[in-house]
Amino acid sequence: MREYLLTLCITAAVTYLLTGPVRKFAIVAGAMPEIRARDVHREPTPRLGGIAMFFGLCAGLLVADHLTNLNEVFAKSNEPRALLSGAALIWLIGVLDDKFEIDALIKLGGQFIAAAIMVVQGLTILWLPIPGVGNVALTQWQGTLLTVALVVITINAVNFVDGLDGLAAGMVCIASMAFFLYAYRIWYSYGIESAAPATLFAAILMGMCLGFLPHNMHPARIFMGDSGSMLIGLVLAAGAISITGQVDPDALKLFTGSEKAAVHQTVPVYIPLLLPLTILAVPTADLVLAVVRRTWRGQSPFAADRGHLHHRLLEIGHSHSRAVLIMYFWSALIAFGALAYSVNSASMWIVLGVALLSAVGLVLLLLPRFTPRAPRWAEHFVPPRYRRRRAATAGSANSPVGEAGSPSDREQEPPVAVMTGVAGVNGATALGSHRHRPERRKAGTSR
């Protein structure tokens, strides 16, 4: 565990330290697109944050290769090299897109090629654990098609959800955390070395996201761009492929008694990771809804719009930060709920806890629909938005001139002062001088 923590910290530190210089480079390179209709930020923000994340990935793999225990992953498996090859290609395509806005079909073709490169080097699905059947071996073509499909779906799911500050990095960090706990349990609890690469990928992915998040939280100073969103999507898919299609349930049956029991024990995470519907349930749902919505309108599935889940949260009335936290909540609930169920599927407390937290999540979603009001005796202890309207109206009506709470009252103060103080003075001169004083104050303040 210490070596994993060291790899995570090195990855996070490299990503964090490089993000600042990358931001300056993005500004100099002109990777700051104009505000588009679907954007929620108000100022042009540099992209290319994926550059720092890619070098964080390289640093994590380099450190792990020189550690005593993790070095065995590189010695016994070619999966780290396969991951680095596919990540380098998808990262390069993302950098070009962040700078030059390349066509969506070109990006899709690059995703297929990156997935094929990983398949050629051995990172592929070899078999599937099917409930009630057991272990089903796949042919070479079946494994290749399933692997490529999983990589492309995961990359686009993460790319589609990258619409708010800190959203994609935070959700992938939560997913990789749950994934790390599951893979670590498979490796050290059952002694299955095939889970070691997936555990390493999850630790590095957590470091990439944690190192980038401080720069990307609202208000973001830099965006990861496609160079970052496609990169972390590919790393997450690589870990899912490694543990889903290469950890043989035959090894688990030594601990559970039979192959079918082993499949049943791990199916809450095996099958959802394969599709993926648990670790990336929210981004995948957003991806499916976006494709259906755009196709129904006669548009291209890659045509951008403002119909994503995070856009709808903003339209309901949630603030930017609250919308991001709600998406975090649902991602953590689904991912860690599946993880807990895979550990002890016979416990009803897990099911009841997930159901209770789901009810809490629904309340959070509907929060803007109703505004709770505090009792009158507690109005002085809560923010103004939770006070009763009568109290707010009465307070503004009883306030003296010059202390009114509304902007309209403050704008009317200078004319009132002029009309009451014109006796014995040239009215036109006094009125003109008083009208120009607020303008001079505003000008001085704005400078």
In this predicted model, what pLDDT tens digit does every residue of 314-331 receive, in sequence order? 667 667 677 788 888 888
Residue-level pLDDT at 277: 52
Segment among 25-34, 102-111, 321-330, 405-414 with least mean pLDDT: 405-414
What is residue 57's predicted lDDT score, i.e. its pLDDT?
Answer: 96
Amino acid at 35: I
275 pLDDT above the threshold of 50: no
**pLDDT (0 to 100) of residue 39:** 53
Tens digit of each residue's pLDDT (9 = 90 or more) over 176-213: 898 888 888 877 776 777 788 889 999 999 999 999 99
**pLDDT-based confidence at 438, cuts 50/70/90?**
very low
Q: How far is the CA of 302 from the CAs of 168, 249, 288, 309, in angstroms?
A: 18, 38, 12, 16
Of 344, 336, 1, 52, nearest in space to 176 by CA: 336
b (16+ CB within 10 A) / e for 262-296: bbbbbbbbbbbbbbbebbbbbbbbbbeebeeebee
All residues at 6 or more sequence positions from 205 whose CB lies less than 8 Å from its CB, including other chains: 172, 173, 176, 232, 235, 236, 239
Q: What is the pLDDT of residue 88?
A: 96
Q: How far, in Å, are 142, 274, 338, 376 from residue 345 at the CA level?
A: 30, 19, 9, 48
Q: Using one digit for the tens of pLDDT, what is the confidence trace for 287-309? A: 777 777 777 777 766 666 566 66
Q: Are 195 and 243 in contact, with CB atoms under 8 Å apart?
A: yes
Q: Is 159 annotated as ligand-binding?
A: yes
- Nearest Cα residue to 127 out of 149, 112, 142, 108: 142
Q: Is 135 annotated as a binding residue?
A: no
Greater pLDDT, 151 or 402: 151
Residue 216, phi then psi, degrees to nearest 5: -110, -5
Q: How far is residue 304's CA from residue 385's CA, in Å, rounded to a whole number? A: 35
Where is pLDDT greater, at 135 or 225? 225
